[in-house]
Amino acid sequence: MKNSSSLLTRNKLGAVQEADQDTQHYLEVVKAFARLTYESVYVIDYTDMSFEYVSDNPLFLCGYSSEEVLQLGYEFYFRHVPEKDLEMLSRINEAGFDFYANIPVDERKHYSITYDFHLINKEGKQVLINHKLTPLFLTVDGKMWKSMCIVSLSPHQSAGNARIYRQGAGDLWELNPGTRTWHKMEKPVLTEREIEVLRLHAQGLNINQIAERLFVVPDTIKYYRRRIFERLQVTNIVEALSYAVNSKLI
């Protein structure tokens, strides 16, 4: 399949000499996290491009059982990601590992990447998902050995939207798909009232209910929403909430 070799081999490892400590029993922590979230969770082992764990949260499974997806490993992508998106994933993969190689080894676990692509389920329907990935364990020379991935519905309208975040800082980078280069972006700053409006939306309140809660008229809430959309460069409240959560603004 076109460009599949890049997706497979960019970080494929041979035998691994452990660099990280406390590698035992970590899967029990991953499983516990999966029980607490609606998102799909799985773990990649780059020594053989296999999946070490796949949760039973259904979004990622495409109609299969978690055991079936676990057995497929990387073959799952080639069967259930459209050709166009698979080529895009290869480009993101290359650019991501190029970025990763320039990070000091002792800081590499602080970074995560997020992007959107389609999955095709058993009925042939495409679902746009958001995929987040962060290192779990590194090799002695700082290569990614195992990573944890989180899958949720994408708030966007199209595939791509690749970004890298640094934990504990306001740093984020966005991928230019044409040049395959990363551009550092300033993390948006929201006012306390704008954050409050977002949090109330996250609780399921509509504009009128939020206005009542904050003792203002609905037009004031609409004004705050427009300001939020402008600051975050999004077009709707779903995208705004997703951006705010991913960027740890709320």
pLDDT of residue 20: 52
pLDDT of residue 88: 95
Verify that 203 and 124 share a domain, yes or no: no
Verify that 143 and 79 share a domain, yes or no: yes
pLDDT of residue 235: 87
Angle between helix axes 207-214 and 192-202 (nearest 10 degrees) is 130
Verify that 170 and 50 share a domain, yes or no: yes
Q: How many domains does the chain have?
A: 2
Angle between helix axes 237-246 and 192-202 (nearest 10 degrees) is 110
Verify that 67 and 165 share a domain, yes or no: yes
pLDDT of residue 18: 54
pLDDT of residue 2: 44
Q: 108, 173, 110: which is closest to 145 by C-alpha?
A: 108
pLDDT of residue 114: 93
Verify that 217 and 147 share a domain, yes or no: no
Verify that 151 and 226 share a domain, yes or no: no
Verify that 221 and 163 share a domain, yes or no: no
As a dihedral over the C-alpha atoms of residue 195, residue 197, residue 202, residue 206, rounded to 10 degrees, the angle is -170
pLDDT of residue 5: 47
Verify that 126 and 213 share a domain, yes or no: no
Verify that 160 and 209 share a domain, yes or no: no
Quick: pLDDT tens for 13-30.
655 555 555 556 889 999
Return the percentage of the chain with pLDDT > 70, whole number.
90
Instruction: Look up the domain containing 219 and give its range.
Output: 192-246
pLDDT of residue 127: 95
Verify that 11 and 132 share a domain, yes or no: yes
pLDDT of residue 1: 42
Q: 53, 138, 132: which is closest to 92 by C-alpha?
A: 132
Q: Which residues of the chain have pLDDT under 50?
A: 1-5
Q: Are 163 and 174 in contact (CB under 8 A)?
A: yes
